[in-house]
Structure 1
Amino acid sequence: MTQIQHQPPGTPDVLAPATLGPISLRNRTVKAATYEGLSRHGLVTQDLIDFHVRHAAGGVGMTTVAYCAVAPEGRTGAHQILWRPEALPGLRKLTDAVHAEGAAVSAQIGHGGPVASPKANGLPALSPSRHFHRTTLSFAREATHADLRRIVRNHADAATMAVEAGFDAVEIHLGHNYLASSFLSPRINHRKDAYGGSLDNRARFPREIARAVRAAVGKRIAVIAKLNMDDGVPGGFWLDEAIPVARQLESDGSLDALELTVGSSLLNPMYLFRGDAPLREFAQIMPQPVKTGIKLVGSRVLHSYPYEDAYLLDQARQVRAAVDLPLILLGGITSRPTMDLAMREGFQFVAMGRALLREPDLINRIRTEADTPSLCIHCNKCMVTFHGGVRCVLVEAPGGRRAGGDTPITG
């Protein structure tokens, strides 16, 4: 067994047990939310359960089910899990299966807002202000105060159902210019009421959501929020505003941890991922006229950014210096050295996405051999598989799809 590099005294061991709010995890690694594309008609399938069981069996401390919409118009795809009583039997089967492998499981809850798909949902998308979505070629309408009150309640109801379904945590989506994140963005939020203008006003809706979720679940489960540090677009939400929002969320006492992210699914989706932009592959799966648009001007929307390990660390350490709240470092966490670096920098947990899509058992192998390298090459072609079952395209789908594995579980 490879020896682990010596860490300064008091530095947490990333693979040792830890607490996150009211729950205990077997280690400090989190399978980040990567939309699986394995739910059907808003319900869990056996394929979705198998996906998370693979990651649980592979050694992560907690796996995250993404993306679970709190309202019908908040889905970014027609088949995404929608919080309602009919979904609970399948969700309970999923949490039981993950727990049987010794891991915890979190549900990512949120509302797509201007990123949502009006065509798939049969409902108009919502935004802080009227906004044109160049992918769906449609306008999102401005959310009313009644919409906002309803969606805050929707988040609280979703969190309550997550407790009933056996989840250990919920992760509130405050990133990527989904609805709550779009309120934070001065680029998208042009409102003149109490939800627009100043940062305090723009942060009002995300804070209301987080407080409602905490009030609904108390200390029965952990409450995490995924917060943008940088939208990656001119005039968008940036670190100078993310730091005070993180402080506000901490002072509210709503959260047990923050997971720090960047990018805009609406305006600059590749900013989060770094590495190659798979333009040709995206064009192949898109309907017309989007397909032609990607071929002609895709490089103006899907930018390529150079990859490096721990690529969000420089921004995240500035948040780390400003708050005492436990933080989860995301972005280029692929090896034991980067995990140890995160621990030395004062982060309590690390989140991993693409590296675990490539190798669901990576944590177990790192535990056995600390210098195990990740095989992920950051080609980002996994992004193109989201709506048919997310996976690394460089490896064969594990075990093949069983007959009936994509059948919705209703009881």
Structure 2
Amino acid sequence: MRPSVFSPVDLGPVRLRNRTVKAATFEGRTPAGEVTDELIAYHLAPARGGIGLTTVAYLAVAPEGRTHAEQIVIGPRTLPGLARLTDAVHAEGTAVAGQVGHAGPVANGRSNGVHAISASRMPSPLSMQMIRAASERDLTRVTRAYVDAARVLVRAGFDVLELHMAHSYLISSFLAPGLNRRKDRWGGPLERRARLGRQVARAVREEVGGAVALTAKISVSDGFRGGVTTEEGIAFAQLLEADGHLDALQLSGGSSLMNPMYLFRGETPVAEFADAMPTIVKWGMKTPVGRGFLKRYEFEEAYFKEKALRFRRELSMPLMLLGGINRLETMEQAMADGFDLVAMGRAVLREPDLVNRLQAGTATEGICTHCNRCMPTIYTGTRCVEWAADEAIPTA
């Protein structure tokens, strides 16, 4: 018998009150790289609205692993604020995940004050600098940084750690053959390109044991030539499952560096993005090449579902379905299809109380139109621009 999306579920050692997840979406509320009251309020809104698990994004393991300087680097300095956040969310009955990662080539080295690293050397469209290829010493340091970050997040009271292995971030850059041109033990066949992700998962699991759930965000398809394909994504997932270090996988897609709209689908707010960027990037986005960067994909409900079903057929471990989920019918069908949880981003950004209203029967679907004008607001505080002033996210 299929479970209801509103039924409790065990994710590793963590009991969730239902099977809904607030997907990681950079909140734009850490201007000094610290937890703020505004960041806490951002997560309290969906917690009070019934979500089972809210995900704090994006938490970097190292300074050069931030996408830009305003993001949190996990460490002793940020631990007290992170603990304050988890305490507040737990008081609402919701579990808290921390998305843990290293942005790799998606990092803005000029903003961070330190050059970005990737699987292979490449130019950065964000910083207009060269991204250097990660050395053996870098990879040892970054793996250790994941372990140190995991230790801090456990102390801070997080229930789930989500390892970011998608979207062309560092681990994902190693997986993508078009970004990984290495000739050493980190490049070539998939098993070697998957080495870093598997090494990180093993090292973090050895550190946290059974204290928290450990998951990973992986790609059903990167959506660009030379990116991770669906077939390679499945093969990578099978390696992770065989290793046995993870409690679940969240199935995402697209590339923050090469094809971001493959993840979001729907309208492409080119003008709004350009207006939010520094002058040189703004100019670039208004050229034909820049406009082509934000490709247009028609929105459809649960747009990753068909690819995700291929993962479901090949894997036995718990899976989270993500990608344009708005309707109760879609959520319940995901349960019937064998998915264990459903993750939503824009739907609960638009309506933080959506889960409560779906469960109460006062709504059957969300009202998000997928205009994607929320996307450029990450630089000024991520929000739905359709909200009236009196519907703004409350203070903590």
Deviation at 1:83, TM superposition (A): 0.6
Aligned residue identity for 1:91: L
Structure 1 gap ranges (5+)? 1-9, 406-411
For the pair 1:151 / 2:142, whether they are aligned, the reply is yes
Deviation at 1:42, TM superposition (A): 1.8
The alpha-carbon distance between structure 1 residues 67 and 91, as it changes in their structure 2 partners (threshold 3 A), is same
Task: Give secondary structure in 2 for the equivalent of 1:85.
Answer: coil
Equivalenced residue count is: 395
Q: Pick from 334, 350, 368 the counterpart of residue 360 of structure 2.
A: 368
Aligned residue identity for 1:90: G
In structure 1, the partner of 2:332 is 340
The alpha-carbon distance between structure 1 residues 400 and 327, as it changes in their structure 2 partners (threshold 3 A), is closer
- 2:220–2:304 Cα contact (<8 Å) kept: no
For 1:219 and 1:351, how far apart are their aligned partners in 2? Answer: 23
For the pair 1:307 / 2:302, whether they are aligned, the reply is no
For 2:245 and 2:188, how far apart are their aligned partners in 1? Answer: 24
- 1:275–1:304 Cα contact (<8 Å) kept: yes
In structure 1, the partner of 2:272 is 281
Task: Give secondary structure in 1 for the equivalent of 2:369.
Answer: coil
For the pair 1:382 / 2:374, whether they are aligned, the reply is yes
Aligned residue identity for 1:51: Y
CA deviation map 1:50-87 (0-9, x unaligned): 11011100000000000000000000111101111011
Aligned residue identity for 1:277: T
Deviation at 1:314, TM superposition (A): 0.5
In structure 2, the partner of 1:117 is 108
In structure 2, the partner of 1:352 is 344
For 2:202 and 2:390, how far apart are their aligned partners in 1? Answer: 40
In structure 2, the partner of 1:5 is none
Deviation at 1:370, TM superposition (A): 6.3
* 1:171-182 equivalent positions in 2, closer than 5 A: 171-182=162-173
Structure 2 gap ranges (5+)? none
TM-score by length of 1: 0.94
For 1:233 and 1:225, how far apart are their aligned partners in 2? Answer: 21
Deviation at 1:397, TM superposition (A): 5.4
Aligned residue identity for 1:81: I
In structure 1, the partner of 2:309 is 317
CA RMSD of aligned residues (A): 1.4
For 2:277 and 2:173, how far apart are their aligned partners in 1? Answer: 25
Aligned residue identity for 1:243: I
In structure 1, the partner of 2:52 is 61
Deviation at 1:400, TM superposition (A): 6.0
Deviation at 1:396, TM superposition (A): 3.3
In structure 2, the partner of 1:330 is 322
For 1:270 and 1:146, how far apart are their aligned partners in 2? Answer: 34
- 1:391–1:397 Cα contact (<8 Å) kept: no
Aligned residue identity for 1:15: F
In structure 1, the partner of 2:70 is 79
Displaced runs of 4 or more, over 4 A:
397-403
Deviation at 1:402, TM superposition (A): 8.8
Of residues 61-70 and 362-371 in structure 1, the stretch that sits farther from structure 2 once superposed is 362-371
Q: Pick from 183, 190, 211 the counterpart of residue 192 of structure 1.
A: 183
TM-score by length of 2: 0.97
Between the two proteins, what is the percent identity of the paired residues? 52
For 1:136 and 1:345, how far apart are their aligned partners in 2? Answer: 43
Of residues 154-163 and 172-181 in structure 1, the stretch that sits farther from structure 2 once superposed is 154-163
Deviation at 1:277, TM superposition (A): 0.7
